[in-house]
């Protein structure tokens, strides 16, 4: 229904020709692909069926680190059971394409482009003859859409409106802020000479730092540049994905606020966001950045002087982050890295968390109500190990230095009292893996 309605609305408003429509969900066969194409899709996402071709037996324990066939697990014993071959997945897609081609031949289509959006080719007679569905009226969904005659671009007369993407879209990459950053940091990119820039930023500037990081990765690989080789100070409100995939050697400081997906895929860079100088509000009680920050980050550091939205550090696998409050689902599906929360969290914290460590300031003892123990696989405990003392203090000191956080400074002034108010969130499997690793190191 969603796909059909999307196609109808886009065609009626003469917008369909500008975009490509992708659909997914329970697409397993060539017949499913053809039906999706007839309803208006051009791209198709498959997941379950290719996983089965790799050997998945659909145990539905992906988040528990106990996958018996070694696909969704970090346990070396279980991973040794993985028997999947890329040839199996290739063969699956060949069979899928062959079935699509056979159905296209039956329908009289030579290309996929001819088939897209042809809802009139869907036969509902057999479906509606069944007693359970005989009362359904599928006309609103399957009627081919017609453009609105009152649209400004149709007033000159009737014309054919596109049912599929027929134009390329200008994403404005030539005017991206990163073009300016690359030009002004050329000496750092080519010779490693330290460069520091001060620039304004606006919420139309998206994925700032990503193209720059691509240039660094292209020349220096995953090693990147030495820390702080490129220092970028911004003033204003950053658009989405500020610092996405930021490479090692780049430090981005933002005096202002940021939108969603800050630090997505962070790859060794450092990001700090803090309120404008002279702001009269308490940062620990106000939003500084949006949702889904640090999504899939692998390394690097993030310091945020304020509260953030939902799904903070989701799927983080190695980055370090300090924040002064989070929304719901913090540290969801986290597999590595370290997160420090100097404030309140939303509900469902650490859901699906299988690795990494989180330290949460819990002066009122209410955090246990927001914590998801994943059926006993994730543990909540006081901070009592000497290694934790040093790590936690160092990160809070870094946070205070990078952002000027008053809350961090206050906690550090009475450190013994503050330390007793922190709780540690850790996965039992992660702790066991760490212990085994340390034992192996000790034996060598």
Q: What is the pLDDT of residues 372-429, one digit of tens each?
A: 999 888 999 999 988 999 999 999 999 999 999 999 999 999 999 999 999 999 999 8
Helix (H, G, I), strand (E, B) or coil at 381: strand
Sign of CA dihedral 363, 369, 370, 375: positive
| Helix H or strand E segment including 436 | helix 428-443
Q: Which of 300, 223, 232 is nearest to 264 (CA)?
A: 300
Residue 156: predicted pLDDT: 47
Q: Which of 141-150, 217-226, 246-255, 378-387 has the lowest mean pLDDT?
A: 141-150
**Cβ atoms within 10 A of the Cβ of 91, count?**
12
* Mean pLDDT of the region 121-149: 80
* Mean pLDDT of the region 13-42: 92
Q: How far apart are CA 307 and CA 305, in angstroms?
A: 7
Task: Please tell me which residue, 137 or 42, carries the higher pLDDT value.
Answer: 42
Q: How far apart are CA 117 and CA 102, in angstroms?
A: 19
pLDDT of residue 279 exceeding 70, the answer is: yes
Task: Please tell me which residue, 139 or 156, carries the higher pLDDT value.
Answer: 139
Q: Which of 1-10, 32-41, 136-145, 183-192 has the lowest mean pLDDT?
A: 136-145
* Mean pLDDT of the region 296-300: 97
Task: Please tell me which residue, 133 or 255, carries the higher pLDDT value.
Answer: 255
Q: Which of 307, 300, 207 is nearest to 261 (CA)?
A: 207
pLDDT of residue 158 exceeding 60, the answer is: no
* Mean pLDDT of the region 115-142: 83
166 CB-contact burial (10 Å; exposed 0-12 / middle 13-18 / buried 19+): exposed
pLDDT of residue 173 exceeding 50, the answer is: yes
Q: How far apart are CA 159 and CA 179, in angstroms?
A: 40
String of b and e for 47-75 (b: at least 16 CB within 10 Å)? eebbbebbebeeeeebbbbebebbbbbee
Q: Which of 111, 133, 114 is nearest to 124 (CA)?
A: 133
Average pLDDT score, the chain:
92
**Cβ atoms within 10 A of the Cβ of 300, count?**
27
Task: Please tell me which residue, 363 or 157, carries the higher pLDDT value.
Answer: 363
State the residue for tokens 């000027």: 404
Instruction: Characterize the bridge pairing of strands 378-382 and 422-427.
Output: antiparallel
Could you give all domains of the chain from N- to C-terminal order, each with its CATH number? 2-154 (no CATH), 173-443 (2.160.20.60)
* Mean pLDDT of the region 123-141: 81
String of b and e for 104-139 (b: at least 16 CB within 10 Å)? beeeebeeeeebbbbbebeeeeeeeeeeeeeeeeee
């Amino acid at each position: 229904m969603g796909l059909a309605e999307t196609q109808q609305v886009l065609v009626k408003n003469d917008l369909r020709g500008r975009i490509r429509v992708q659909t997914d969900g329970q697409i397993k066969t060539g017949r499913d692909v053809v039906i999706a194409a007839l309803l208006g899709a051009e791209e198709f996402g498959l997941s379950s069926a290719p996983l089965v071709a790799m050997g998945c037996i659909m145990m539905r324990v992906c988040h528990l680190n106990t996958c018996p066939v070694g696909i969704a697990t970090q346990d070396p014993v279980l991973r040794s059971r993985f028997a999947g071959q890329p040839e199996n997945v290739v063969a699956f897609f060949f069979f899928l394409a062959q079935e699509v081609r056979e159905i296209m031949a039956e329908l009289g289509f030579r290309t996929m482009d001819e088939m897209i959006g042809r809802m009139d080719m869907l036969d509902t007679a057999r479906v509606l003859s069944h007693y359970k569905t005989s009362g359904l009226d599928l006309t609103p969904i399957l009627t081919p859409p017609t453009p609105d005659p009152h649209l400004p671009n149709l007033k000159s007369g009737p014309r054919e409106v596109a049912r599929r993407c027929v134009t390329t879209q200008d994403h404005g990459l030539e005017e991206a802020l990163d073009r300016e950053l690359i030009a002004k940091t050329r000496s750092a990119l080519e010779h490693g000479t330290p460069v520091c820039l001060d620039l304004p930023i606006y919420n139309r500037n998206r994925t700032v730092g990503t193209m720059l990081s691509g240039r660094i990765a292209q020349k220096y690989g995953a090693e990147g540049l030495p820390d702080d080789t490129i220092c970028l100070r911004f003033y204003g409100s950053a658009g989405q994905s500020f610092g996405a995939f930021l490479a090692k050697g780049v430090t981005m400081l933002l005096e202002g606020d940021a939108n969603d997906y800050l630090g997505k895929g962070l790859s060794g860079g450092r990001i700090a966001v803090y309120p404008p100088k002279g702001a009269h509000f308490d940062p620990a009680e106000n939003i500084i950045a949006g949702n889904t920050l640090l999504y899939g980050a692998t390394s690097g550091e993030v310091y945020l002087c304020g509260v953030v939205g939902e799904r903070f550090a989701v799927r983080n696998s190695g980055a370090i982050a300090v924040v002064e409050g989070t929304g719901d689902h913090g540290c969801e599906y986290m597999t590595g890295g370290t997160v420090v929360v100097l404030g309140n969290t939303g509900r469902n914290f650490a859901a699906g968390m299988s690795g990494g460590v989180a330290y949460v300031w819990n002066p009122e003892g209410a955090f246990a109500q927001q914590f998801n123990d994943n059926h006993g696989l994730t543990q909540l405990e006081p901070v009592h190990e000497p290694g934790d003392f040093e790590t936690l203090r160092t990160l809070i000191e870094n946070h205070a230095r990078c952002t000027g956080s008053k809350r961090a400074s206050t906690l550090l002034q009475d450190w013994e009292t503050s330390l007793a108010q922190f709780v540690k969130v850790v996965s039992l499997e992660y702790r066991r893996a760490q212990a085994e690793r340390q034992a192996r190191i000790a034996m060598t």
